Amino acid sequence: MPEWWPPVEFDPSQFNPERISSYYLDFSIVFDNWQAILQALLITITLALLAEVIGIALGLALSLLKISRSKLLSFPAQLYIDLFRGTPLLVQITIIYFALAPVGIRFSSLFFAGLTALALNSAAYVAEIFRSGIQSIDKGQMEAGRASGLSYAQTMRHIIVPQAFRRVIPPLTNEFVMLIKDTSLVSVIGLAELLRAARVLQSATFNGTPLIAIALLYLAICLPLIYLTNILERRLNRRTA
């Protein structure tokens, strides 16, 4: 190891299997507090689902604005997307809840503060997913639509967007997985979602098991979705190949 390498100590004498199992695997703490965990799980899931729905609606609108040929429409959309993709979500959540009071915006509900931050953030990513999806549809589709007498908006609505939607389902599912994991960031404002609930338990019991338990819960939710994304992607590839 070079001299400047930051020292990392590993003391094998500290390695204590008994302490490890009592610190990480004392699931009685979780079972004794199952109501709090269940409630937190519901909050996490509701938060992610609602944020995803709002994010998709907002994101679709943003993507259409962004690909518009009018600068007046595309510039604000671009600005929005850059703003939310270029700053950390944790910072956005903190600003939205703690620092909007001077402009007169005050969230009395933690849930809606968190939901707002997550949905606004997700919209920026979803917008990019839709944009690339829409732009991946062959130009000929638009030309054909226009040639058969449909307006730009009609062609978009009836021909382009429905085709794009199929293509963006895998990346959207992926975005949903990210969103589920990102709900944990909302714990910073005190909303009793999974991470906060686990930390409250951890701080009361000085035991790491609640954290392990919620990690397993996140896995149980996210892994099936990740595999679903993989299957969808494979199918889509087969069809387009």
Partner 1 sequence: MAKKLRLTVLAALFLASGSLAACGGGGGSESGDSGGEEGGGSGGGETLTIASDIAYRPFEFDQGGEPVGFDIDLMNEIGNRAGFTPEYQNVTFDGIIPGLGSNLYDAAISAMTITPEREEQIDFSDPYFDADQSLMVPEASDVESVEEGLESSVVGVQIGTTGASQAEGFQQDGLIGEVRTFDTIEDAFSALDNGQVDAVINDLPVSQDRVNQSDGALKLVQTIPTGEQYGIAFPQDSDMVEPVNQALQEIKDDGTYAEIYEEWIGRAPESIPGEETTGE
Binding site for partner 1 (CB under 8 A): 4, 6, 11, 14, 23, 97-98, 101, 106-108, 110, 188-190, 196, 199-200, 202-204, 206, 208
Give 83 or 204: the residue with its C-beta nearer to partner 1: 204
CB of 185 to partner 1, least distance (A): 12
CB of 40 to partner 1, least distance (A): 12
Which two structure tokens, joined as six digits, stand for 134?
A: 């829409």
Give 6 or 17: the residue with its C-beta nearer to partner 1: 6
CB of 12 to partner 1, least distance (A): 13
Which two structure tokens, joined as six digits, stand for 62?
A: 């943003």
Give 146 or 199: the residue with its C-beta nearer to partner 1: 199
Give 68 or 94: the residue with its C-beta nearer to partner 1: 94
* Residue for token pair 């996210």: 222
CB of 4 to partner 1, least distance (A): 7
**Spatial contact of 67 and 132, defined as CB atoms under 8 Å apart:** no
CB of 192 to partner 1, least distance (A): 8
Give 84 or 97: the residue with its C-beta nearer to partner 1: 97
